[in-house]
Amino acid sequence: LGDRNHIKCVKLKTLGDVFGANAEIKLTIPVGKLFTYELMRETFQNDFEPLSKLYAGRLYDDPMVFKCNKQNYPDLPEWLRLTQRHPYDNGFLYGTPTSPGKNIIEIYAVNKRSYETARHILVIKVVAEKMLPYQAEFFIKLREVEKVLPSSVQDEIKQDIQNLWNTQAVEIVNITNALDRGGRVPLPVAGHFEGVYVKAGSIDYFSECLLMVMTPEHQKQCTGEAGLKVKTPGGCNFCSIPSNCITWCKTELFDLTEQEPAPPAPTMSSGILEAGGDFDPPESPPSRDFLPDYIVTVIVPLILAIILCLLLAYIMYGRREGVAKRNARTNQIQLYHHHTIHENTDELRNMAGNRGAPPPLSTLPMFNSRTLDRAPPLHSDSPSIPLIMAQHDPYSETLPR
């Protein structure tokens, strides 16, 4: 732990707790400044295999996943965040406390090899301190939050900001992953990063360089897409390491001394209503004529329904062709064929109905089925004699000749 952030760190171990499984770490931090705490995998590794190093001489490097919450609560306090990119990376607790108080944080490490867990307790005492009056936020495009949180990188960034601000009295106030501020997840391609917002504060007023952000030219330059390509102006470019360079157009200044005074507190009255006149009930509304509404909603649809009914009835019944017309249009042979099928069916039905039915007429020698006239006995098998005698048959007139 560096002594940056004015952290007073005391590591306590209870007497019976030889291996540090219940290690309690106490920190005191001020309101309004960035707090970073690195969850070292090495420390927890000692909790999992405390004696292996001593006796077996083995050193493990297990993958670990960290889970943190406020004691007796499901989650961390609002201002505190946990991040760990990969089980083989250290985790970070970071955030900026906004109000004084005591936070007891439980840190669980789950060993992904043996599925053992270890618990540490972190007691964070937040003490009140005046906010830094001048703050500025910078966007670092080529960084990810885990890469910025180690204190060495924070110091590099702070140095650049100190140069830009032209003062040594610069503190980092907040670091935020751009994804938490509506940024997009980058493509998994080299050269694409999530981006990090770094907010710094100082008791000294903004430098000339920073004040350029407020000029109308800057605002004109930075509108739209073009703004992302604008270079930091000449004498203000202090970034020594390319990945720490800021996106000039996303720089924002906050002057907390300029804040409007809080609105005046509401004036309290005696709590008793002033005397007024008697209650005057409103008059009943004028009567309305509902007939037009009735006509529109009931009569008109009814008339329409009746008209539709009549139309449908005419189409369904009034325009039917009728059997006679259909027969007249049908090919006569087809019609005759149809009739014979019907007659033969009837005949077979009759025969099935009762035993004493006369034998079918068609089994008899040649006859006319309608007139029941027997044909004169034929003595010839000549094919020229028709099977059906047509003279008296009313249907035969329709046969093609």
Ligand X SMILES: *[C@@H]1O[C@H](CO)[C@@H](O)[C@H](O)[C@H]1NC(C)=O
What single-letter amino acid sits at 107? I
Answer yes or no: are the C-beta atoms of 124 and 29 closer than 8 Å: yes
Q: Which is nearer to ligand X, 96 or 154 (CB)?
A: 96
Q: Which is nearer to ligand X, 34 or 105 (CB)?
A: 34
Size of interface with ligand X, in residues (CB under 6 A)? 7
Q: Which among 239, 39, 37, 209 is positioned nearest to 142, based on CA atoms?
A: 239
**Minimum CB–partner distance for residue 138 and ligand X (Å):** 13
Considering only residues 15 to 34 of the shown chain, the ones binding ligand X according to CB under 6 A are 32
- By CB atoms closer than 10 A (0-12, 13-18, 19+), residue 393 is middle
**Could you tell me which residues come within 8 angstroms of residue 148 by beta carbon, excluding any fewer than 6 positions away?**
140, 154, 157, 175, 196, 198
| Residue 116: C-alpha distances to residues 68, 119, 384 (Å) | 16, 10, 111
Of the candidate residues 181, 192, 320, 370, the single one contacting ligand X (CB under 6 A): 181
- The verdict on 174 binding ligand X (CB under 6 A) reads yes
Q: Which is nearer to ligand X, 254 or 367 (CB)?
A: 254
Q: Report how far residue 179's alpha carbon sits from residue 175's, in angstroms, rounded to the nearest whole number.
A: 12
Q: Which is nearer to ligand X, 32 or 195 (CB)?
A: 32
**Minimum CB–partner distance for residue 230 and ligand X (Å):** 23
Considering only residues 91 to 130 of the shown chain, the ones binding ligand X according to CB under 6 A are 96, 98
Q: Which is nearer to ligand X, 155 or 180 (CB)?
A: 180
Q: How many CB atoms lie within 10 A of CB 202?
A: 23
Q: Which is nearer to ligand X, 32 or 91 (CB)?
A: 32
Considering only residues 79 to 98 of the shown chain, the ones binding ligand X according to CB under 6 A are 96, 98
Contact stretch for ligand X (CB under 6 A) within 59-67, 173-181, 205-213, 364-372: 173-181
CA 114 to chain centre: 36
Kindly state the tokens that stand for 149.
Answer: 């949180």
Of the candidate residues 5, 111, 163, 176, the single one contacting ligand X (CB under 6 A): 176
Answer yes or no: are the C-beta atoms of 194 and 185 closer than 8 Å: yes
Coil, strand, or helix at residue 280?
coil
- The verdict on 75 binding ligand X (CB under 6 A) reads no
Contact stretch for ligand X (CB under 6 A) within 174-182, 213-221, 245-253, 301-309: 174-182
> Which residues are at the interface with ligand X (CB under 6 A)?
32, 96, 98, 174, 176, 180-181
